[in-house]
Amino acid sequence: MFTVILFMLGGMLVGYLMHKWRMEWLGRVISVLIWLLLFFLGMEVGANGDLMYNLPTLGLEAGLLAACGTLGSVMAAKLLWRKILKADKERMAPVQSAGENTWHALRGSGVIVGFFVIGVCVGMLMGVPRAVASGKISSCALCALMGCVGASIGHSPETLRCFRSLNPRLAWLPLLTIVGTWTGSVLAGLLLNHRGLTDCLAIGSGFGYYSLSSIFITEYRGAELGTIALLTNIVRELITLLGAPLLVRWFGRLAPISAGGATTMDTTLPVIVQTSGQDMVIVSIFHGFLVDFSVPFLVTLWCSV
């Protein structure tokens, strides 16, 4: 746990020191490392006959966890919208079509899921090579991934400038997203009485960051729970991408941001802007940055309890 976190913090320092350098390649490296790690996770799942047999059941569990976690977060966002921002006196931003941006985000997510599916097929046909089964390759790739993620955060001065211009009342939104998701995850854990509450809280703490959270949970709790985490957080992102107009109508303009969790400064940002309004860009980036940053710490925290 501490090794991975140190790599992330070290990456942030390196990124900050190199903020004047052009580092466009960093995003491609992060994508490749995520593809590699999810491919390895897929191999473990495919080689495990019992896990493959129970995959439909695991999918239902993931759907319940995603629904409860998302509902908890949007209810918390609705509370903030009404109590702090006095939503009844605010004018609702018009809901616009987000079809093109939704399709672009879904296509990017499909590539990542595709590597997991390919890994499952390879695992079913060939099993898991000894070098992969030992976990050394995955551990090295995970440390490299966290170093690159940290560097990408530290390299972006625009994010810090956005934070300075944020309405202070909206600084509560990331915390409410986390607490609301945990509340929903506890509810799901009570319904799934064969799953421990810490397992459900660890899965919920992915906040839509399915690639990274599933990798961490696999490292700590095994491939079965890692697969549930992957499916849960994919479903959460899909709920945000496809349901953003309804979330705005039912829960207020902050709801798609809270539902998007850790994805609101990248994949779900275009949809959020089109449904919640242009003035929510800074809020969405701020929210995504903090929730994204919390994922490694909170997932490993609940996995270690």
- What distance in Å separates the CA atoms of residue 181 and residue 205, rounded to the nearest whole number? 8
Give the pLDDT score at 84. Answer: 65
Q: How confident is the model at residue 203 (pLDDT cuts 50, 70, 90)?
A: very high
Which range is least confidently modeled, 94-108, 194-208, 237-251? 94-108
pLDDT tens sequence across 226-252: 989 988 988 898 788 778 888 988 898
In this predicted model, which residue has the larger pLDDT, 156 or 240? 240
**302 falls in which pLDDT band (50, 70, 90)?**
very high
Residue 188 corresponds to which tokens in the numbers above? 């799901």
- Summarize pLDDT for 275-288 with one digit per residue, the tens: 887 778 778 888 98
Give the 3-state secondary structure of residue 254. coil
The tokens describing 102, both together, are 């939704």
Query: What residues have CB less than 8 Å from 305, skipping those under 6 apart?
Result: 198
Least confident of 36-45, 187-196, 295-304: 36-45
pTM, to two decimals? 0.71
Which pLDDT belongs to residue 104? Answer: 58
Residue-level pLDDT at 4 = 63
Rounded to an integer, what distance in angstroms lies between the CA atom of residue 246 and that of residue 269?
Answer: 16
Give the amino acid at 207.
F
Q: What ranges in 194-305 are assigned the alpha helix state H?
A: 197-204, 210-221, 223-251, 255-260, 269-276, 281-304
Query: What DSSP designation does 195 have?
Result: S
Q: What number of residues does the chain have? A: 305
92 — pLDDT class (breaks 50, 70, 90): very low
Structure tokens at 90: 């605010």
The whole-number average pLDDT for the span 20-24 is 76
